[in-house]
Amino acid sequence: MMREIYASAAQVTIWLGESDENSDCAFDAMPVVADKRSWFWQQHQEQDSGRRSDILKYCGDFFFTLVSSRPWFSRVWILQELAVSKSDPVVVCGEKRILWSSLVMAWQAIVESKTFGLVSFLKEHQVPDGKSEFLLQTKLNVLDNLRKFTQDTGASLRKLLLISRASAATDPRDRIYGLLGLLEQDAVESNNSVVITVDYRKSCAEVYADAMAHIFSRGDGPYFLSGIFLSGSPVAAPHISSLPESIEQPDLPSWAPDFSRQTFDTARQPTGMSFLPPSTMSVSGAGHGAKNGRVLKDGRTLQVKGLIHMKSGYEPAPASYEQTYLNYLSAASIDDKLSKHIDDAQKPEYEILLRACIGRKSFFTTQSGFAGTCIPATHKGDTIAIIFGSPAPFVLRPIASIEGKEPAYTLVGTCYLGGIMNGEMVDELYCEDLMESTTFLVR
């Protein structure tokens, strides 16, 4: 009912909490900052430079700590109240208020300003590159975009889960249930997809598996799994203390992500996103758009089609990488040798690529002589598989077969394997009938 309630409201009010030393001044300043025609943005008026600096300080301090200091932004249920409100929501902090649209315009104006922008702020405060809490500040833009594209059409569960990956809920099942009111219309019709039924008698593992069954039925399953945080093996699902002891709370299937651990500070393994090839490439080749995979009736087994890795085309790394590698290898400390404070444009390409991997990934070789990177949970004896519809290959771990059927596996995670990332195996072997697909049963 919540979508209908918020959509029917004459006015939605967003309560950020009590005021603090910065919020009152920031809310007073936001209207003039949001208006690009105001005196604040007229740089030629030197007598106003002091006032501009003060306003920048108050607004900057408020905005750059907003997401981390105001719990409203971290809750999954806030998405509906913001996204479906027909009128412009009013944002209230203490005794101050401003329209949501003006809040967003003020934030965007500061970020885009060459003089007062985000880059200047980070340099002034000596913030390390890539510090996660500053990356999360873009959530203001994400929330505003969500409001714009869900007003009429709704969104896919895949997109909603990515948007809300930093959101939390007291009941971990609400990481799914809190998004259902924002789904696109045909996603809630049983003839188009697996419909998720709200049932608080279910365990968290069942609810997360239901979500993945829905995503696979919409044709988004392999693509979605390739880019998120996976646990590396079946793990305990978030415990629901309110469930009766008589209800079993099983572990998550390896193909059902823990949706309560989808940020860098909570995840157990590197994100699959770090293994994806450029957007113009896909390990699935001609099968990149395949609708592939379904969850079987037991609710624990995923059936997908793909290829087991074997030898295919190979493109060696540029020769220049070898000498760069040898230079760094001979250094007493690789961190001392790597040029920490040199702009990326001046660093060797090999160093830029290496820095993205150090400490986050494991190196592996296959029996057929290929080399790649994978999540640290990968073991000797695991299998590399191309699952049609995924842009990157997966690491699968063989387990006992299911009731005498095909061999079964657990899903370990995504990987990068040089020589097949542009669809060579699919296009040169599978599409030319030199290799047959395999049906994988994943538990």
82, 112, 147 — which closes off a domain?
147
Is 229 part of any domain?
A: no
pLDDT band at 45 (very low <50, low <70, confident <90, very high): low
Number of domains in the chain: 2
Q: Is residue 240 part of a domain?
A: no
Q: How many CB atoms lie under 10 A from the CB of residue 212?
A: 25
Q: Is 342 inside a domain boundary? A: yes
pLDDT of 329 strictly over 90: no
Boundary of a domain, candidates 124, 147, 170? 147
Overall size of the chain counted in residues: 443
CB-based contact 420:386 (threshold 8 Å): yes
Residue 84 belongs to a domain: yes
Expressed as residue numbers, the domain containing 436 is: 308-442
426 part of a folded domain: yes
Confidence of residue 46 (pLDDT cuts 50, 70, 90): low
Confidence check: pLDDT of 383 > 80: yes
* CB 98 within 8 Å of CB 31: yes
Measured distance CA(213)–CA(221) in Å, rounded: 8
Rounded distance, CA 418 to CA 317, Å? 9
**pLDDT mean over 63-69:** 83
The average confidence (pLDDT) of the chain is 85
**264 in any annotated domain:** no
Look-up of token digits 């697909």? 437
Alpha carbons within 13 A on the beta-carbon side of 331: 12
Last residue of a domain, one of 128, 147, 166: 147
**Band of pLDDT at residue 343, cut at 50, 70 and 90:** low
SS3 92: strand
Q: Which helix (H) or strand (E) holds 14?
A: strand 13-17
Answer yes or no: is 68 within a domain: yes
With respect to residue 221, please indicate whether it lies within any of the assigned structural domains.
Answer: no
Is residue 411 pLDDT above 80, yes or no?
yes
Cβ proximity of 152 and 183 under 8 Å: no
For residues 283 and 423, is the Cβ–Cβ distance under 8 A?
Answer: yes
